[in-house]
A = this chain, B = another copy of it.
Amino acid sequence: MQNSNIPTILVTNDDGFQAQGIQYLATLLGNLGNVVVVAPDSARSGAACSITPTCPVSVRKIRDNVYACSGSPVDCVKIALEKILDRKPDLVVSGINHGDNASISLHYSGTVGAALEACMKGIPAIAYSLRTHKKECDFAPYSEVIVEWAEKVLREGLPADTCLNINFPEVDCLCGSKVCRMARGLWHTEWLDAGVDDEGKKIYTLTGTFTNLEPEAADTDYWALDHGFAAITPLSLDMTDHALLARLGKSAD
């Protein structure tokens, strides 16, 4: 039985329902509302906003309020809203991702994809990620900021077609939080030669090096992370480039 005065919070991620990050997040936000976890049944790193249109998606109830789904993070949000939850949640949170999703990396992120999907459904959403690739992390230094923003968004909502992308540096103690924009960045040197497969086809393993193209820009997410701050970046669903739209529209007149 859910108390209808208590917020419903949907929690998902891209690392799978068993990941440490989502378990921490679900426990922490349990203080703010009724938490329901609907997350991938295994890791889906790099899933972005992908969906599964070509084969059925399965849902398994793990225990009360915890479900594992065979689809992508976006599928998890879609299926939670339509097939699992008995009412529209007040907040969707995604994470805590093991690995940051700042700068252009957010385009590849299933963690951010899930938040964007909630946003597409008109539900306030926050993606949380930590700049680490350790499987075992200490998330305690980030609890206060996680709760602060979840409470703020539950209380005030977010404007239509926006969500929040929150990244943390790996530190014992945050220097604070910065509201900031996406840094411009470049992934390069992305493939390791891995020989040939059984059929003689060349195979490659995805890796890569990231370069921040504006390391001095103190108003960016990367700068915040590099200097020990939580990076709070509001994202827009509208990807229209309005400056170029105006320019092209004028030349088409």
Chain A contact residues, CB within 8 Å of chain B: 43, 45-54, 56-60, 70-72, 74-75, 78-79, 82-83, 104, 106-108, 110, 113, 116, 120-122, 158-159, 161-162, 177-182, 184, 186-187, 189-191, 194, 197, 199, 201-206, 232-245, 248-249, 252
> Does B236 contact A240, Cβ atoms closer than 8 Å?
yes
- Given A59-B204, A204-B59, A249-B179, A108-B51 contact (CB < 8 Å): yes
> Does B252 contact A179, Cβ atoms closer than 8 Å?
yes
Can you list the 5 inter-chain pairs with the closest CB atoms, starting with the nearest?
Answer: A236-B241, A234-B244, A48-B49, A46-B51, A181-B240
> Does B48 contact A50, Cβ atoms closer than 8 Å?
yes
> Does A59 contact B201, Cβ atoms closer than 8 Å?
yes
Query: Which residues in B have their C-beta under 8 angstroms from that of A43?
Result: 54
Kindly report how many copies of this chain are found in the complex they form together: 2
> Does B75 contact A182, Cβ atoms closer than 8 Å?
no
> Does A206 contact B241, Cβ atoms closer than 8 Å?
no
Q: How far is the CB of A151 from chain B (nearest CB, A)?
A: 14
Of the residues B56, B78, B82, contact of A203 by C-beta under 8 Å: B56
> Does B240 contact A239, Cβ atoms closer than 8 Å?
no
> Does B60 contact A201, Cβ atoms closer than 8 Å?
yes
Query: Which residues in B have their C-beta under 8 angstroms from that of A189?
Result: 82
